[in-house]
Structure 1
Amino acid sequence: MSNNIIFLKNRTTPLDKYEVESKDNQYSDVQFLPLIAHTHHPMEALLLLKNNDYLSSLRYLIVTSQRTVECLRESIIPTLTNEQKEKLFGLSVYTVGPATGDFLRRVGFHNVKGDDMGNGDKLSDFIIEDIGDDYNGEILSLVGAIRRDIIKNKLKQVGLSVKEVVTYETSVLNDNLDRFQNTLIDIADKEECDSKSCCWVVIFSPQGAKDIIKFLKQNPSIKNKLDLKISCIGPTTNNYLLDNGINPEVVSPEPTPDSLLGAIDGFQKSMTTAVQH
């Protein structure tokens, strides 16, 4: 079993399921390498959610990013009154992905829906069906500064009006490649005493990872020296890697820790079987 895994993402606080499940799967060295910085912008959402008239008309919330949940937990919810919190937590909240859904539930929302839809297009269809003819309240979508408008546009086509409010923005850190190289150097130093170990690098998005991907393409010997293997999350990231000369060993079928680690485990078992034969 490989004991090194590097997640090219910010560690979700206070609990990151990728870390928990990696350690459960006997990865002793689990590292997170943040590639982007997140800045909260809670003011516009606060003005709405602290307005009792608006809050009383609000029935549906759309939250598709863990960064938005962090903004809610750290910068918005603590400033609300108990009555406002109770109203907010009782809303129907639509989201994508089990990790974001679990995060919302831990924060206090108890009517979270759609976290098994997998993408914004499917979530849009689910929202339309779930609301049905019962549309008589506001729909608020809390988003990042950079986003695709799939959900908003699809709901608009069927007459559902969505108010979008930005809660965070992202910026690429300027030393990603340096920190990645230093991480590999540290692992190489440890690997000298354990030649059977390999290192997995998990790429979640091209954002912030472009210099690292270019470095891996231009230095293929690095992969052999460290027995470095690449895994990625999602078809968009996989296509970007392929277009840039990187063929990942594993593409996670779903954007979840279970799916990722199961795919990696399956790959490693198939490689072991191939060597034995």
Structure 2
Amino acid sequence: MTNTKRVLLLKNKTVPIDPYESNFEQNDFEPVFIPMIQHMHLPLECLHLLQNDAYMTQLKHIVISSQRTVECLNESVVPNLSVSQQDALLQKTVYTVGPATASFLQRCGFKDVRGGIDAGNGSILADVIISDLKNDATTDFSSMPTLLLLVGETRRDIIPKKLASAGLKSQEVVTYKTEILDNNLQRFVSLFNSQCWVVFFSSQGTDEIIDYLKDKNAQVASIGPTTDEFLLSRGIRSHVVSAKPEPVSLIQSLKSV
């Protein structure tokens, strides 16, 4: 590529399509993905529930806050369901964080995906769920079916706590776990130069990179306020913070500097 600016994206590349790659290339950036963690699917508990026809009949709402959960569903759960079970799953209302995960769910065949671009974090998503169900409920929350929260092994408890405070019952089921990759710093240093952007998407696996950048003239971007707060707590100030956790907003933020 010529006349492009390198952007180091500290994230796993989503397959088969990563919207950051195409959007950055269309805007004269050179996106370089540097995975910090690896994901391992844990589908058995989720599969057991979704194969239970009585459970699926009463289940109305699923909450998903990570693309990794969608990958687990798409690759390790849905192929092991019967055709009728797959159809029943895809008809459920799914609430999710961020436009990227919402788009992924729609590509997987889910018909009713809510939140998405209007829910940039778990707290906002919980507010969306509470508002929706309050408007739709014909009875009080205490008699509504339990919401299914599909989560990672390491997660914050913002969503279930906020739902519980409104009287909504939820059940968390773990669908994946993460492990920090080896040699994150070495792989980063081999690709870094002071002219490129470094985009942080999460705190996981970045400790050594943060320490390395403290005495460098690095251009740092955060995908959102939570990541920005983490970097500040570690002594790194973001030059830009994306208004929304998706590629178009991030690109606009980078171009505004």
2:169 is aligned with 1:179: no
2:191 is aligned with 1:201: no
- TM normalised by structure 1 equals 0.85
**In 2, Cα distance between the equivalents of 1:245 and 1:151?**
28
TM-superposed CA distance for 1:151, in Å, is 1.3
TM-superposed CA distance for 1:74, in Å, is 0.5
TM-superposed CA distance for 1:158, in Å, is 2.6
Do the aligned residues in 1 keep the contact of 2:94 with 2:112 (CA within 8 Å)? yes
2:172 is aligned with 1:144: no
* 1:160-239 equivalence runs, <5 A: 160-184=168-192, 198-218=195-215, 220=216, 223=217, 228-239=218-229
Residue 250 of structure 1 is matched in structure 2 by 240
Residue 40 of structure 2 is matched in structure 1 by 39
TM-superposed CA distance for 1:241, in Å, is 2.2
Do the aligned residues in 1 keep the contact of 2:145 with 2:169 (CA within 8 Å)? no
**In 1, Cα distance between the equivalents of 2:81 and 2:244?**
35
- Percent identity of equivalent pairs: 45
**In 1, Cα distance between the equivalents of 2:83 and 2:146?**
21
For each residue in 1:164-195, what CA deviation from the matched residue of structure 2 results, as whole angstroms up to 9, or x when unmatched? 100001111121001111223xx69xxxxxxx
Do the aligned residues in 2 keep the contact of 1:6 with 1:202 (CA within 8 Å)? yes
**In 2, Cα distance between the equivalents of 1:123 and 1:4?**
33
2:253 is aligned with 1:263: yes
Count the aligned residue pairs: 248
2:4 is aligned with 1:6: no
**In 2, Cα distance between the equivalents of 1:47 and 1:12?**
26
3-state DSSP of counterpart to 2:130:
helix
Structure 2: which 5+ residue stretches go unaligned?
Answer: none
**In 1, Cα distance between the equivalents of 2:198 and 2:171?**
38
3-state DSSP of counterpart to 1:154:
helix
- TM normalised by structure 2 equals 0.91
Do the aligned residues in 1 keep the contact of 2:221 with 2:242 (CA within 8 Å)? yes
3-state DSSP of counterpart to 1:169:
strand
3-state DSSP of counterpart to 1:69:
helix
**In 1, Cα distance between the equivalents of 2:4 and 2:68?**
30
**In 1, Cα distance between the equivalents of 2:226 and 2:128?**
22
For each residue in 1:120-141, what CA deviation from the matched residue of structure 2 results, as whole angstroms up to 9, or x when unmatched? 1221121112122246434111
Which has more radius of gyration? 1
